[in-house]
Amino acid sequence: MKRINNLLINKKAILILVGLVVVLATLQSYIGSMKTFPGSEILYTSYNNYLIFKQSFFHLIDQKDLYILYPQEQWDLYKYSPAFALLFAPLASIPDLLGLLLWNAMNAFVLFLAVYSLPHFSLRTKGLVLLFVLIELLTSLQNEQSNGLMAGLMILSFGMLERRRYWLASLCLVASIFIKLFGIVGLALYLFYPNKWKLTYTTGSWVLLFASMPLLVVSWDQLLFLYQSWGYLLANDHSISDGLSVIGWLKTWFGFQPDKTIVSLIGVLIFCLPLALLKKYQVYTFRLLMLASVLLWVVIFNHRAESPTFIIAISGVALWYYGQSRSAVNFSLLILALIFTILSPTDIFPGFVRSEWFQPYVVKAVPCILIWIKLTYDLVLGTMAPRVESSETNGSSS
């Protein structure tokens, strides 16, 4: 037990573990076999998602539409902002292996820095959070996804808000929005902090910068066209998938297929219930659990959520559990998340179990849905005592 505690409070050791995950995921992606995708006979690299990001920069500077298929270059569509395509320039301009390594490192280390930015967490608790999310982080990195970066930016924004460093907080949050639009849900956290005017103009300044940044390489007319094309893509994307989400759960478990917009609106209303409790805004645990709620909500109500997306939700689960006092119910839910969310896509379970049960019945999403329900109940009606650790295991905070 002492060795485990020593590991948990050793920031460098945790950093090394995260670094090993980055290297492992990068090598696995880079040396993987060429593959085909459904409906296509073209062979693509095993790091296709990275190529989508890389090629978006070249499509941008070549004045092309970012939001159409380029089957000779990559499989699937680019779905991020024009600003993201421009910001990918440094990685797009170097060899793929190095670019992929740096991309995965950015995703992992922003999340690492974000967790260590959290106030009122001991070093041991921060270590526990990172170890709990490590396997899910590997899953995301193996798919060259941006979800580790998304989770990190949203958590880092919270850490900066707590320190009243509003320029940095709003930068992180706006950056997340220009990666994936659902980052906008994080704006709800602004309600907890003073000086709303400063939050407004710092956020507006960053939005203006990110929105206009592509004008460095494209014309005004082309930029307007890109935003229109992006909007059209997202609007039509809404109807073609259920994902690992509340919608998918209702459909596969209960045969219930309500309108997605209605489900999302109900989700918004439930999410907003705790925000009516103004007196609780002064309680740090309440604010932290609202951050956890944001991280869970943006995944379980996302009809496009895939397995690699769940590093965001699992980060929320970790903050929910380790950010408050222990309880048997919460621990049971945590174990469910470990087994059926984190481990369900791995080879721990036989392939037929994954293909015939876990995937069709969106099992990966279910523990996160249950935890979000429990979390919302606690925010509204429960007690929220902070986590207390003994002095022997606590470690110093940072």
| Of 352-356, 363-367, 372-376, the least confident | 352-356
Say whether pLDDT at 397 is over 60: no
Say whether pLDDT at 117 is over 80: yes
Say whether pLDDT at 260 is over 90: no
Mean pLDDT over residues 240-248, rounded? 84
pTM of the full predicted structure?
0.95
Q: How confident is residue 398, by pLDDT bands cut at 50, 70 and 90?
A: very low
In the prediction, which pLDDT does 40 show?
82
Q: Name residue 122's beta-bridge partners.
A: 397
State the alpha helices, DSSP H only, in 186-257.
Answer: 196-212, 220-237, 246-254
Mean pLDDT over each residue of the chain, to the nearest integer: 94
Higher-pLDDT residue of 220 and 6 is 220
**How much of the chain is in helix, strand and coil states, percent to nearest 5?**
70, 0, 30
Mean pLDDT over residues 255-266, rounded? 91
| Of 16-20, 103-107, 137-141, 232-236, the least confident | 232-236
In the prediction, which pLDDT does 236 show?
84
| Of 87-101, 149-163, 228-242, the least confident | 228-242
In the prediction, which pLDDT does 390 show?
56
211-to-22, 125, 179 alpha-carbon distances in Å: 30, 37, 12
Mean pLDDT over residues 216-223, rounded? 98
Interhelix angle 196-212/166-177, nearest 10 degrees: 40
Question: Long-range contact list for 197-205, CB < 8 A, 24+ apart?
Answer: 198/166, 199/166, 199/169, 199/170, 202/166, 202/167, 202/169, 202/170, 202/171, 203/170, 203/173, 203/174, 205/170
- Rounded Cα distance, 83 and 227, in Å: 11
Our count of domains for the chain comes to 1
Say whether pLDDT at 391 is over 60: no
Which of 213, 238, 184 has its CA nearest to residue 85? 213
Say whether pLDDT at 386 is over 70: yes
Interhelix angle 123-142/310-322, nearest 10 degrees: 170
- pLDDT tens track for 29-83: 999 888 888 878 899 999 999 999 999 999 999 999 999 999 999 999 999 999 9
Q: Which domain holds residue 387?
A: 2-394
Q: How confident is residue 115, by pLDDT bands cut at 50, 70 and 90?
A: very high
The answer to whether 295 touches 154, Cβ cutoff 8 Å, is yes
Q: Determine the length of the chain.
A: 398
In the prediction, which pLDDT does 392 show?
43
